[in-house]
Amino acid sequence: MAEVIFPRLALVGIGLIGASIALAARRAGVVGEIVVTTRRPETLRRAEELCLGDRYVSTAAEAVADADCVIVSVPVGACGAVAAEIGPRLKSGAIVSDVGSVKASVVRAMQPHLPGTVSFVPGHPIAGTEYSGPDAGFAALFDNRWCVLTPAPEVDPEAVTLMVAFWRALGANVETMSAEHHDLVLAITSHLPHLIAYNIVGTAAELEGGIRSEVLKFSASGFRDFTRIAASDPVMWRDIFLNNKDAVLEMLGRFNEDLATLTRAIRNGDGDTLLDLFTRTRAIRRSIVALGQDTAAADFGRNDHAAAETKRAQEETPAD
């Protein structure tokens, strides 16, 4: 039987990530009691119906009392307010973490509100789906995915060791780096692709009615996959772009320069430039598969999940 790492875990926010943490921690047997809180009463009731925790409370301040570890799973723009609420109620020696896709701004927002008697170990599990809410959670979400921790140099090493052990128990690979380095890396691997997806789908939405309906009707894998990314939580992604502005703008500038090169190649009939780029990018894609971060199966392996995704989409579509 696994050793309990945290006798009491408090989850502030119980959407896709929070729910998956609860389920994965239970599966691994590394927590004792799980206390759940979230802003919306109906979401809290749903979390209780799904048996995601042991206790369910209406405020973050109440949830974190006597907790050994607190994980904040809210949009990054709300992290500062949560830290201000929970700061006075945190017990000495507790570990506070988060799951935000941006780290430097989260540190700036949360750190001033946390007492010196606790350890702040910011985190980012690089895993997710386009679905949200507690029903979207599943225990295997973090299996063989990366979780990046960005503790400050002065943080208690034992607290970092415990968080590394916790995430590994949940199935994740763990890496530590500075918050600033994390934000630059994620700007190109996650944030810019989402921005491009939102923009492409937005362009389709602005087309004339007849063309737009045909775009939807004849969507091949490329546009279909962009719409999947663009279906992600809009509040979460609004906050990510506003809070990682500098890194995103840096990568967006590089992207625009490369896009200009491709534009010239197409205009000038420069097939050599196009072939060179497409060959290099295919090699990158194969490297991602080789590292186990995706599958080479046909249709990106989605046929295995097609029925479940179709059922979920039907349930989420309002009746006429």
| 284, burial (CB in 10 Å: exposed 0-12, middle 13-18, buried 19+) | exposed
3-state secondary structure (DSSP) of residue 245:
helix
pLDDT tens-place string over residues 11-58: 999 999 999 999 999 999 999 999 999 999 999 999 999 999 999 999
Residue 200 and residue 117 share a domain: no
Let me know whether 23 and 126 are in one domain. yes
- What is the Cα–Cα distance from 124 to 107, expressed in whole angstroms? 12
Q: What is the pLDDT of residue 47?
A: 97
Task: Say whether pTM exceeds 0.75.
Answer: yes
Residue 280: pLDDT band (50, 70, 90) is confident
- Mean pLDDT calculated for residue range 157-167: 98
Single out the residue in 177, 198, 231 at which a domain terminates. Answer: 177
Same domain, 53 and 172: yes
pLDDT computed for residue 314 by the predictor: 38
Residue 94 lies in a domain: yes
So what's the pLDDT on residue 173?
Answer: 96
- Boundaries of domain holding 37: 6-177
Rounded Cα–Cα distance for residues 12 and 60 (Å): 6
Query: Which stretch, 55-69, 201-215, 262-276, 280-294, has highest mean pLDDT?
Result: 55-69
At 232 the pLDDT is 78
Q: Is residue 251 part of a domain?
A: yes
Q: Residue 306 — pLDDT band, cuts 50, 70, 90? A: very low
CA–CA separation, 265 and 272 (whole Å): 9
Is 109 within the bounds of a domain? yes
Q: How many CB atoms lie within 10 A of CB 318?
A: 4
Residue 315, pLDDT > 50, answer: no
Task: Tell me the pLDDT tens digit for each residue of 238-273.
Answer: 999 999 999 999 999 999 999 999 999 999 999 999
Tell me what the mean pLDDT of segment 162-178 comes to: 98
Tokens of residue 114, six digits: 């946390």
Helical H runs in 111-191?
157-169, 179-186
If one counts the domains in the chain, the total is 2
Residue 44 and residue 156 share a domain: yes
- Write down which residue in 119, 144, 177 finishes a domain: 177
Which residue, of 130, 151, 177, is where some domain finishes? 177
The CATH number given to whatever domain includes residue 241 is 1.10.3660.10
CATH of the domain at 101: 3.40.50.720
Q: How many CB atoms lie within 10 A of CB 141?
A: 22
Q: 11 with 154, same domain?
A: yes
Q: What is the pLDDT of residues 72-117, one digit of tens each?
A: 999 999 999 999 999 999 999 999 999 999 999 999 999 999 999 9
Give 229-239 pLDDT, tens digit per residue: 788 788 888 99
- Does the residue 1 lie in any domain? no
Quick one: 202 and 218 in the same domain? yes
What pLDDT, on a 0 to 100 scale, did the predictor assign at position 320? 32
